[in-house]
Structure 1
Amino acid sequence: MSETQQEKYDRFAALHRGEGAFIVPNPWDAGTARVLTQMGFQALATTSAGYAFSVGKRDSFAGLSRQEILDNAREIAAATHLPVTADLEDGFGIMPETCAETVILAIAAGLVGGSIEDATGHGDAPIYEQALAVDRIMAAAEAKRDKPFLLTARAENYLWDRHDLDDTIRRLQAYSAAGADVLYAPGLTDLNDIRTLCAELDRPVNVVMGLVGPSISVANLAEAGVKRISVGGSFARAAYGAMMRAAEEVLEQGTFNYARDAVRDGALSDMMSDSKATNRT
């Protein structure tokens, strides 16, 4: 018998209360969700970057619609028995009520979590003023009240070259007070900064690895106080890197040695759905 959304949420929430840190990798479609599920992860997260690349678009505020993101997330959630949390970008609008609406739609799509970020997408003023940013998280938190949904609040300073740890901590503390369940500051790469941030916050902390900077182990992140580790679009970029290296070999050398490292067709087929189309025309 398949689990209910509440049961998936309960499992997801429990991971945030357990010992150490857990990894939530980021599939970009139903197929990669199936692969990562069967490899043994405990939860999944969507990636707007990975999805954007897969449909030939830039990962940008103007490039992806809320409907596209939620349709992709719905397909990922339907392809796995694991809890799925989504990258909901900036909530797809400035106003707090838009963020609230996005959370309601995310829950309807079968998601048990999602993140709202405080980036505006505008280079001249890249981060929302804190008062508005807090109102946006508060509205999202109110929308998910008594529903099976874990709200993550993201402070985006470091992704926009605003390397201000104190401001990032203040923002995340304010988002916690506004009702966020998980706190996230993507772009932090210094383990001491991560340790300081975790010590100053009263909610589970998510960090992203695989983007830029040094590679920090799961064990070291857990020791620093991190609870959840995601990989953003880095798995997607790794997959594209392998494809581009294969293409370069064929173009430049006229050989096909890349096939030795490719996953066997049968192995992938075994991981995919065996459902059959009812109408093939």
Structure 2
Amino acid sequence: MGDLLSGPTSPRARLRELLAGPGPLVAPGAYDALSARLVEQAGFDVVYMTGFGTTASLIGRPDVGLLSGAEMVDNARRIAAAVDVPVIADADTGYGNAVTVLRTVREYEQAGVAGLHLEDQVHPKKCGHMSGKEVIPAGEMVGKIQAAVAARRDPDLLLIARTDAAAVEGLDSAIARAGAYAAAGADVLFVEAPTSEDDIARVAGELAGVAPLVFNWAEGGRTPPIPLARIAELGFSLVLFPIGTLLAATAGIRSLLATLRADGTPAAAMPELPTFDGFTDLIGLPEVRDLEARFAGP
């Protein structure tokens, strides 16, 4: 986990190694530093910072473009600092035009993420599995991808190009856009929200060999929840499970509050919860104790 005095030398190089591995890389979503640490402690090799979850946790609102780039970068910075594994972050539309993307990429890179994705929605955007999305012209998005490539200082920073055109212009357009974004310099392609297994297979088949592909296993979203083995068979390199941690936390908090409301205390729920000491160990208190002893002075 992200110790206070140590960390990996290059999470970006590590992410590229993982993507080149034999099977799809599984990236559970994290919406804050604590959920990121839990993902890492569960044994996963990468953390995905969800924009949906970031919006819900920071302001308690839906993912409809209400957060600024600065708020998203700030969350990415905290998450990247909390873990040693690579972090892939949602960067929405880049928060403006191609010139804005220059600053967005620099800010995310300075925040310590190993990768980020940019999408071709009109700003402000909507969650990719909501209705009412709009997309910018493909040529404008090509310019934004080119700007992102020019902005990064570390060539290992992974740039993922996402298209939301399938729901707006159809799957043919989405696949064509993805190919154009790869030609513009995107490292990985992300066709958002195909709505059938046949469409998923078409994306994989027609973009095979163009660039590594993302599959967004959005919990409860519009894309069919196909098994991981099938995703691997189709050739996807990265699988996002963006909001399961958020939904689980919501269910757990609701359950605890229902017990408290009904009983007057949370005592009946306590056996299902981490102990106080167990939780403080989980978030790094033993390390703090060791550092206090180390730097106590003579």
| TM-score interval, smaller chain | 0.7 to 0.9
- 1:199 offset after TM fit, Å? 1.7
Structure 2 vs 1, CA of residues 246 and 90 (structure 1 numbering), >3 Å: closer, same or farther?
same
Of the structure 1 ranges 200-209 and 138-147, higher mean CA displacement relative to structure 2 is found in 138-147
2:135 equivalent to 1:127 = yes
Determine which of 248, 253, 263 is the counterpart of 1:243. Answer: 253
Q: Secondary structure at the match of 1:153?
A: strand
Structure 2 vs 1, CA of residues 60 and 270 (structure 1 numbering), >3 Å: closer, same or farther?
same
Aligned to 2:215: 207
Aligned to 2:8: 3
Q: Secondary structure at the match of 2:116?
A: strand
2:148 equivalent to 1:140 = yes
* 1:251-262 alignment, distance < 5 Å: 251=261, 257-262=268-273
Give the conservation status (yes or no) of the 8 Å contact 1:137–1:153. yes
Structure 2 vs 1, CA of residues 146 and 111 (structure 1 numbering), >3 Å: closer, same or farther?
closer
Any gaps of 5 or more consecutive residues in structure 2?
1-5, 126-130, 293-298
2:217 equivalent to 1:224 = no
Structure 2 vs 1, CA of residues 248 and 76 (structure 1 numbering), >3 Å: closer, same or farther?
same
2:171 equivalent to 1:169 = no
Structure 2 vs 1, CA of residues 124 and 249 (structure 1 numbering), >3 Å: closer, same or farther?
closer
Relative to the length of structure 2, the TM-score reads 0.83
2:62 and 2:168 map into 1 onto residues whose CA distance is: 20
Q: Secondary structure at the match of 2:118?
A: strand
Aligned-partner residue type, residue 272 of structure 2: D
Q: Deviations over 1:24-69 (max 9, x none)?
A: 1111111111111111000111112212222224244542111111
Of the structure 1 ranges 177-186 and 206-215, higher mean CA displacement relative to structure 2 is found in 206-215
Structure 2 vs 1, CA of residues 244 and 197 (structure 1 numbering), >3 Å: closer, same or farther?
same
Aligned-partner residue type, residue 201 of structure 2: R
- 1:165 offset after TM fit, Å? 1.2
Give the conservation status (yes or no) of the 8 Å contact 2:35–2:245. no
Give the conservation status (yes or no) of the 8 Å contact 1:208–1:232. yes
- 1:2 offset after TM fit, Å? 2.8
Size of the aligned set, in residue pairs, is 273
2:168 and 2:57 map into 1 onto residues whose CA distance is: 30
2:132 and 2:183 map into 1 onto residues whose CA distance is: 28
2:20 equivalent to 1:23 = no
Aligned-partner residue type, residue 282 of structure 2: M
Q: Secondary structure at the match of 1:25?
A: strand
Give the conservation status (yes or no) of the 8 Å contact 2:32–2:54. yes
- 1:259 offset after TM fit, Å? 3.7
Instruction: Provide the identity percentage.
Output: 30
Give the conservation status (yes or no) of the 8 Å contact 2:121–2:135. yes
- 1:180 offset after TM fit, Å? 0.5
Relative to the length of structure 1, the TM-score reads 0.88
CA-based RMSD of the aligned residues comes to 2.5
1:143 and 1:107 map into 2 onto residues whose CA distance is: 9
2:33 and 2:238 map into 1 onto residues whose CA distance is: 22
Aligned to 2:100: 98
Aligned to 1:267: 278
2:98 equivalent to 1:88 = no
- 1:145 offset after TM fit, Å? 6.1
Give the conservation status (yes or no) of the 8 Å contact 2:204–2:235. yes
Structure 2 vs 1, CA of residues 90 and 18 (structure 1 numbering), >3 Å: closer, same or farther?
same
Q: Secondary structure at the match of 1:89?
A: coil
- 1:254 offset after TM fit, Å? 6.8
2:240 and 2:221 map into 1 onto residues whose CA distance is: 13
Any gaps of 5 or more consecutive residues in structure 1?
none
Aligned to 2:159: 151
- 1:166 offset after TM fit, Å? 0.8
